[in-house]
């Protein structure tokens, strides 16, 4: 099958390679001319035989919007556009409506697999009309892992990215649990082999997983993670998951806490903790740590002898 691939970065480039190895004719476009087969989106569309399938693999938000808008002007009735990035499911519905005016089909596809997808295959979560999904099935079959699992037509337009959004939210929670367990083991005076403890869990335990395998791999490279800074970005899907939970009145305490932990990781000096420290000093005289070069304030510091307010009558 012939397909156009827009965006040949870490994910898109490996996906294009997996498709080529699977016998498909892939025409790729990227802003980096050293990896691109064509010089523009217009040339990409012209190289493809109708009815065309174009897979967009660019960052969510403005880059995806711009790409979809441009392709919408170039594609024709009967063509299909697949958004395989991490777009918000609400945007999918808007894109589908706009493309439908020109008779262009739209499929949203959440993709998981990272840098290992070329070798192991990609988990695919799709949304859209069944007729459009069916037309792209030869591509899905090649990209997915071998076996029955690894692909789902989750529902109508937006369902694929909604499922991927929740998947990433779960991922946040799992990673945070491993992170907290590692920190506690490292802080312990009893456990001497933290890396070995994680490795021992890889067989026969209920938490064995590929994520645990990757954790051990990371510790093999840097046993105490001394070369890393405790700073974690978020791709946006964690935020969307929490927002969707609010919209649907579904409690997500673990995923929400994991998202907030990433926010906290970016603070060298937490403003909120300054307030907590100040209040503990005020009501209990607990010691606080001053700015660089200043002394700690203890129980005899200002505020330690402040009397509690009278109870309201």
Task: Name the residues annotated as catalytic.
Answer: 164
CB 64 within 8 A of CB 83: yes
User: DSSP string covering 233-271, please?
Assistant: ---SHHHHHHHHHHHTT---HHHHHHHHHHHHHT-SS-H
| Secondary structure E strands in 45-115 | 53-56, 80-83, 105-112
CA-CA distance, 108 to 115, in Å (whole number)?
21
Which two structure tokens, joined as six digits, stand for 73? 């002007």
CA-CA distance, 216 to 198, in Å (whole number)?
6
If one counts every other C-beta atom within 10 angstroms of the C-beta of residue 97, the result is 11
For residue 84, give the nearest of 33, 123, 37 by alpha carbon: 123
Instruction: Look at residue 131 and give its three-state secondary structure.
Output: helix
For helices 237-247 and 253-265, angle between their N-to-C axes, nearest 10 degrees:
140
Greatest Cα pair distance, the chain, in angstroms, is 82
In a 13 Å sphere around the CA of 229, the CA atoms on its Cβ side amount to 8
Rg of the chain over Cα atoms, rounded to whole angstroms, equals 25
| Secondary structure E strands in 98-139 | 105-112, 123-127
């Amino acid at each position: 099958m012939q397909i156009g691939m827009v965006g040949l970065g870490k994910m898109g480039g490996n996906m294009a390679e997996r498709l080529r190895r699977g016998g498909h004719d892939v025409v790729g476009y990227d802003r980096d001319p050293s990896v691109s087969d064509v010089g523009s989106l217009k040339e990409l569309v012209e190289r493809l035989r109708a009815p065309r399938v174009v897979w967009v693999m660019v960052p969510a938000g403005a880059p995806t919007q711009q790409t979809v808008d441009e392709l919408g002007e170039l594609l024709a009735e009967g063509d299909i556009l697949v958004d395989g990035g991490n777009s918000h499911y609400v945007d999918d519905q808007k894109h589908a409506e706009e493309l439908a005016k020109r008779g262009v089909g739209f499929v949203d596809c959440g993709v998981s697999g990272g840098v290992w997808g070329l070798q192991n295959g990609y988990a695919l979560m799709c949304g859209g009309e069944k007729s459009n999904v069916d037309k792209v099935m030869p591509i899905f079959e090649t990209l997915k892992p071998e076996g029955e699992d690894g692909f789902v037509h989750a529902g109508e337009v937006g369902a694929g990215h909604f499922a991927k959004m929740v998947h990433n939210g779960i991922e946040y929670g799992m990673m945070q649990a491993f992170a907290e367990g590692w920190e506690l083991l490292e802080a312990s005076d009893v456990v001497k082999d933290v890396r070995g403890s994680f490795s021992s869990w890889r067989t026969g335990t209920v938490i064995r997983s590929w994520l645990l395998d990757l954790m051990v791999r990371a510790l093999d490279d840097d046993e105490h993670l001394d070369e890393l800074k405790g700073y974690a970005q978020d791709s946006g899907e964690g935020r969307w998951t929490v927002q969707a939970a609010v919209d649907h009145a579904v409690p997500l305490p673990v995923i929400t806490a994991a998202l907030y932990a990433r926010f906290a990781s970016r603070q060298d000096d937490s403003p909120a903790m300054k307030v907590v420290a100040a209040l503990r000093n005020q009501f209990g005289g607990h010691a606080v740590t001053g700015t660089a070069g200043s002394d700690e304030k203890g129980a005899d510091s200002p505020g330690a002898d402040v009397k509690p307010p009278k109870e309201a009558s």
